[in-house]
Structure 1
Amino acid sequence: MKKSLLYVLLGIGLSLSANAQEESLHSDTLKVTEPPRDGYVMKSDIANRKVVPFAPIRQTDVAYSKRIWREIDLRDKMNQVFASPKSRLIDIIVEAIMNGELTAYDPTPTKNDPNGDSFKNVLTKEQVMARLGGDSVLVEEYNENNEVISSRYEKREFSGENVVKFRIKEDWIFDKQRGVFEPRIIGIAPLITPQIPGLSDINTSVTPSNVDPFDPFAVSNTAETTETAEDNIQPAAPVTTSIEVDPTPAFWIYFPEARHVFVNKEVVTRNNDATGLSYDDVFVKRIFSSYIVKQSNPEDLRIKDYIKEDIERLYESERIKKALMDFEQDLWSY
Structure 2
Amino acid sequence: MKNHMIKVCFSLVLGLMFMNADAQRASRKRAANAPATQGVQQTEQTQDVKPPSGYNPYGNIPIERDSTSNTNGVVKKSLRPDGAVDKSFINERTPLPYENLRWDDALYSEKVWRELDLREKMNQPFRFEAEDDNGSQMFFDILMNAIKKDSVVAFSDDRFTTPLAEAEMGNLTSGGPLDTNAVRDPNDPNKIVKWVVSQESFDPKAITKLRIKEEWVFDREASRLFVRILGIAPVKTIQRGNSTQNEVMFWVYYPDLRKTLAKYEVYNPKNLGYGRMTWEELFESRMFSSYITKSTLDNPGNKVIRQMIKDPILALLEGDNIKERIFNYEQDLWSY
Task: Indicate whether the TM-score tops 0.5.
Answer: yes
1:301 paired to 2:303: yes
- Cα separation, 2, equivalents of 1:150 and 1:301: 54
Residue 141 of structure 1 aligns to which amino acid in structure 2?
Answer: A
Matched, 1:46 2:48: no
Aligned equivalents of 1:251 and 1:36: distance in 2? 37
Deviation at 1:127, TM superposition (A): 1.6
- Distance in 2 separating the partners of 1:38 and 1:145: 49
**What is the aligned partner in structure 1 of residue 266 from structure 2?**
267
Alignment correspondent of 1:217: none
C-alpha contact (below 8 Å) 1:81/1:269 kept by paired residues:
yes
* Contact in 2 for aligned 1:46/1:276 (Cα 8 Å): no
**Following TM superposition, by how much is the alpha carbon of 1:126 offset from its aligned partner in structure 2, in angstroms?**
3.0
TM-score using structure 1 length: 0.68
Question: What is the SS of the residue equivalent to 1:247?
Answer: strand
Counterpart CA distance in 2 for 1:302 and 1:323 is 17
| Alpha-carbon distance between aligned partners in 1 of 2:100 and 2:304, rounded to the nearest angstrom | 30
For residues 140-182 of structure 1, the C-alpha deviation after alignment (integer angstroms, 9 at most, x for no partner) is 4398999x99866434322211111000000000111111202
Q: Given the superposition, is the C-alpha separation of residues 145 and 258 from structure 1 closer, same or farther in structure 2, using an over 3 Å criterion?
A: same
Task: Give runs of aligned pairs for residues 82-121 of structure 1, distance below 5 A.
Answer: 82-86=126-130, 87-106=137-156, 116-121=157-162
Instruction: Check conservation: 1:136, 1:155, Cα contact below 8 A.
Output: yes
Counterparts of 2:193 and 2:245 in 1: how far apart (Å)? 39
C-alpha contact 2:183 2:195 (8 A) present in aligned 1: no
Matches within 5 A, 1:123-202: 123-134=164-175, 137-141=178-182, 153-194=197-238, 199-200=240-241
Partner of 2:284: 284
Provide the rounded CA distance (Å) in 2 between the counterparts of 1:304 and 1:245: 16
Quote the offset at 1:45 in angstroms: 3.7
Alpha-carbon distance change, 283 to 291 in structure 1, aligned in 2, over 3 angstroms: same
Please tell me the residue identity of whatever aligns with 2:143: I
How many residue pairs match? The answer is 247
Counterpart-to-counterpart distance in 2, 1:90 and 1:154: 23
- Residues 54, 137 of structure 1: CA spacing in aligned structure 2 closer, same or farther, 3 A cutoff? same
Under a length normalisation based on structure 2, what TM-score does the superposition of the two structures give? 0.68
- Contact kept? 1:67, 1:170, Cα under 8 Å: yes
Asked if structure 1 preserves the Cα contact closer than 8 Å seen for 2:127 and 2:139, the reply is yes
Q: Kindly tell me: are residues 270 and 276 of structure 1, through their superposed partners in 2, closer, same or farther at Cα, counting changes over 3 Å? A: closer
Q: Does the Cα contact within 8 Å between 2:268 and 2:276 map onto a contact in 1?
A: no
Distance in 1 (CA, whole Å) between partners of 2:116 and 2:291 is 7
Aligned partner of 1:278: which letter?
A: T
Question: What is the distance in 2 between the residues matched to 1:135 and 1:97?
Answer: 21
User: 1:316 and 1:174 mapped to 2: Cα distance?
Assistant: 22
CA drift of 1:256 comes to: 0.2
Residue number in structure 2 paired with 1:320: 322
Cα deviation for residue 131 of structure 1 reads: 1.2
Largest Rg, 1 or 2? 2
Does the residue aligned with 2:178 lie in a helix, a strand or coil?
A: strand
**In 1, Cα distance between equivalents of 2:173 and 2:80:** 38
Who is 1:214 aligned against? none
Compute the displacement of 1:299 (Å).
0.9
Please say if residues 103 and 253 of structure 1, whose CA atoms lie closer than 8 Å, have aligned partners that are also in contact: yes
For the residue of structure 2 that corresponds to 1:134, the secondary structure is coil
1:61-118: per-residue Cα shift (whole Å, max 9, x none)?
1111001000011111111011101221001011121224311111xxxxxxxxx311
RMSD value, Cα: 2.6
Equivalent residue letter for 1:164: T
Matched with 2:112 is 68
| Structure 1 letter corresponding to 2:263 | N
SS in structure 1 at match of 2:245: coil
**Contact 1:132/1:192 (<8 A) preserved:** no
CA-to-partner distance for each residue in 1:257-276, whole Å, 9 max, x for gaps? 00010000001121110233
Distance 2:209 2:306 in 1: 17
CA contact (8 A) 1:164 1:191 kept: yes
Alpha-carbon spacing, 1:133–1:35, altered in 2? closer, same or farther (3 Å) = closer
1:135: how far off? 6.1
**Distance in 2 between residues matched to 1:123 and 1:285, nearest whole Å:** 30
Alignment partner, residue 77 of structure 1: 121
CA distance in 1, matches of 2:194, 2:237: 31
Is the CA contact (8 Å cut-off) linking 1:136 and 1:153 kept in structure 2?
no
Output the CA distance in 2 between the equivalents of 1:191 and 1:35: 36
Contact 2:183/2:196 (8 A) holds in 1: no
Q: From the superposition, tell whether residues 51 and 149 of structure 1 become closer, same or farther in structure 2 (CA, over 3 Å).
A: same
* In structure 2, C-alpha distance between the alignment counterparts of 1:83 and 1:291, rounded to whole Å: 19
